[in-house]
């Protein structure tokens, strides 16, 4: 079986047409890769196509993207519900489906049977290590995490996580692909729940919540301190509201399920807001009202 190399990567398959998947595909198309977005929902694929056309039109209107480049980039994108056929033409696959292990296992089983031998099979999961789907692919050495951040068209960091059986060639190819997409990849040498960013973010959020609940300072003043003293672009409560409190709670649940550490348990305040339908900016209320 030939080792993967960056020079063999010409066609990228993104599995999942949600906000993350569609933006990853657009990032690839903008720098010259042909990219296919696969999803089981035709409606989701149509929404992805429409949104990306609107995004590029907006960039052209603002003078940030040439009109010809916009048309060329959109022309590099394809949309399909047929995973097997799409996988057969892919040199690199980025799975960005829902964060459910049973769903991802089914996808990687199909990818392992359908994708060319040289293809890298990466998961964009922020909570599930690729070791959980590596074996079912039949090519565990070609499997890793390639975790983008939302919004993927803007955020520069990509966490590349190897599991114990990931080959060096797979890691080198994945890191270089991230760079060619205009990203700044970081390598995580072994799986750990939450990787780097979510662990750092979680620690700051836990301390911020503890300070607020103890009456040490108001939520607004804690956020101000993070911005004006630490140079953060937004405070921890603002960030949680932007990400979505349901997402924050889900990450905590997934991390706690992996570690069993009480320190990683979901926070009651966040869970309470989610139960009340207050999930941050997207619902108009969270720690702040919008």
Query: DSSP letter at 228?
Result: H
Out of 137, 167, 198, 267, the active site residue is 198
147 among known catalytic residues: yes
Beta strands, E only, the chain:
11-15, 34-38, 77-80, 92-95, 120-123, 143-148, 157-161, 184-188
CA 51 to chain centre: 18
145 among known catalytic residues: no
Angstrom distance (rounded) from CA 288 to CA 274 = 13
* Burial bucket for residue 162 (CB in 10 Å: 0-12, 13-18, 19+): buried
Out of 118, 147, 163, 267, the active site residue is 147
List C-alpha distances in Å: 169 to 6, 51, 174.
Answer: 9, 35, 8
Out of 27, 95, 125, 159, the active site residue is 159
Out of 126, 130, 145, 167, the active site residue is 126
189 among known catalytic residues: no
126 among known catalytic residues: yes
Beta strands, E only, 62-114:
77-80, 92-95
Query: Which has the closest alpha carbon to 198: 127, 279, 287?
Result: 127
Q: Are strands 92-95 and 157-161 parallel, antiparallel or unpaired?
A: unpaired
The set of catalytic residues is 126, 147, 159, 198
């Amino acid at each position: 079986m030939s080792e993967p190399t960056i020079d063999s990567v010409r066609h990228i398959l993104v599995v999942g047409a949600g906000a993350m998947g569609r933006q990853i595909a657009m990032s690839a198309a903008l720098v010259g890769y042909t990219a296919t977005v696969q999803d089981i929902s035709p409606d989701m694929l149509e929404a992805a196509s429409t949104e990306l056309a609107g995004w590029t039109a907006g960039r052209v209107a603002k003078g940030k993207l040439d009109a010809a480049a916009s048309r060329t980039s959109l022309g590099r994108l394809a949309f399909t519900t047929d995973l097997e056929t799409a996988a057969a033409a892919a040199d690199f696959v980025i799975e960005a489906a829902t964060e459910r292990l049973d769903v991802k296992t089914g996808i990687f089983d199909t990818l392992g049977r359908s994708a060319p031998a040289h293809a890298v099979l990466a998961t964009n999961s922020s909570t599930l290590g690729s070791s959980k789907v590596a074996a079912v692919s039949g090519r565990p050495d070609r499997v890793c995490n390639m975790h983008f951040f939302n919004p993927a068209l803007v955020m520069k960091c990509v966490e590349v996580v190897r599991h114990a059986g990931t080959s060096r060639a797979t890691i080198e190819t994945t890191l270089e692909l991230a760079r060619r997409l205009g990203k700044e990849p970081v390598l995580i040498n072994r799986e750990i729940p939450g990787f780097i960013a979510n662990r750092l973010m979680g620690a700051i959020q836990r301390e911020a919540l503890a300070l607020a609940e103890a009456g040490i300072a108001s939520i607004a003043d804690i956020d101000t301190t993070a911005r004006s003293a630490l140079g953060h672009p937004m405070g921890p409560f603002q960030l949680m509201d932007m990400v979505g409190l349901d997402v924050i709670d889900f990450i905590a649940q997934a991390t706690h399920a992996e570690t069993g550490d009480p320190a990683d348990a979901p926070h009651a305040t966040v869970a309470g807001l989610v139960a009340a339908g207050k999930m941050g900016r997207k619902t108009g209320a969270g720690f702040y009202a919008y």
